[in-house]
């Protein structure tokens, strides 16, 4: 049942989660030692950002709320991510037209990245939010959608291992391999639960009919 109070509370949680992801992903890149680097690799991966929007949609019963809050959380994450990057001087560049001014923020590059990714977040977030909402369907009906994030993680990590791992330090490949292993395990568990639940329900209906 929709109430303004519940919607505002859900919005606060979703936006806070987005801000946390956007802040922590680049922050752990240079802090926390090896554990921080592993956290950065996980939080910066595309599947993690997809999981944020998906979980926001999964947490809401209303499709409208899912379609609104999921992209909002992703857009906040994008803004927080680039604000943190800016604070860490990522977008500094020399003004070639006037070198005397020294190093300055490349405003055009900074703004274009925020706008571009916010547009992508609005579009993909809506789709992922609705997918998360529909994943609430019990049994085999919602199974394909529940597999979306584990499949995304497994595919992304496999591709990164194939293309990038050889040029990265050992911890990077180990992290990507661990994430892929967890994703595959999640796939097996989700499929097993859905199939087992479906068989139990069919068996229950047969017993009822025979009675």
Taking 90 as the threshold, does the pLDDT of residue 160 lie above it?
Answer: yes
Average pLDDT over residues 175-181: 96
Q: Which pLDDT tens digit goes with each residue over 117-152?
A: 999 999 999 999 999 999 999 888 999 999 999 999
| Mean pLDDT score across all residues of the chain | 88
Phi, psi (rounded to 5 degrees) for 104: -135, 170
User: What are residue 105's DSSP bridge partners?
Assistant: 92
Under 8 Å CB-to-CB from 99, ≥6 apart: which residues?
none
* Residue (of 148, 130, 157, 131) closest to 187 by Cα position: 148
User: What are residue 96's DSSP bridge partners?
Assistant: none
- Residue 140 CB neighbour total at 10 angstroms: 12
What is the C-alpha R_g of the chain? Answer: 21
CA distance 189 to 72: 30
Quote the pLDDT of residue 105.
Answer: 59
Classify the phi-psi angles of 168: left when phi > 0, otherwise alpha if psi is within -120 to 50, otherwise beta: beta
Percent of the chain predicted with pLDDT > 90 = 68
**Cβ(53)–Cβ(145) below 8 Å:** no
CA angle 169, 171, 175 (to 5 degrees): 130
Instruction: State the pLDDT confidence band at 87, using cuts at 50, 70 and 90.
Output: confident
């Amino acid at each position: 049942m929709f109430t303004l109070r519940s919607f505002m509370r859900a919005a606060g949680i979703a936006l806070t989660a987005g801000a946390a992801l956007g802040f922590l992903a680049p922050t752990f890149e240079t802090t926390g030692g090896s554990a921080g680097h592993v956290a950065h690799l996980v939080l910066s991966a595309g599947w993690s950002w997809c999981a944020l929007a998906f979980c926001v949609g999964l947490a809401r019963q209303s499709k409208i709320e899912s379609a609104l809050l999921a992209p909002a959380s992703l857009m906040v994450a994008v803004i927080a991510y680039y604000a943190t990057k800016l604070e860490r001087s990522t977008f500094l560049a020399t003004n070639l037209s006037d070198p005397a001014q020294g190093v300055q923020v490349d405003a055009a590059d900074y703004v274009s990245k925020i706008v571009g990714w916010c547009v992508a977040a609005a579009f993909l977030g809506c789709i992922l939010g609705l997918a998360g909402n529909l994943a609430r369907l019990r049994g085999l009906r919602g199974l394909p959608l529940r597999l979306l994030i584990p499949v995304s993680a497994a595919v992304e990590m496999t591709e990164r291992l194939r293309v990038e791992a050889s040029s990265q330090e050992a911890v990077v490949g180990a992290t990507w391999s661990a994430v892929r292993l967890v994703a595959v395990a999640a796939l097996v568990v989700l499929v097993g639960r859905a199939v087992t639940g479906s068989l139990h329900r069919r068996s229950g209906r047969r017993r009822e009919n025979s009675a």
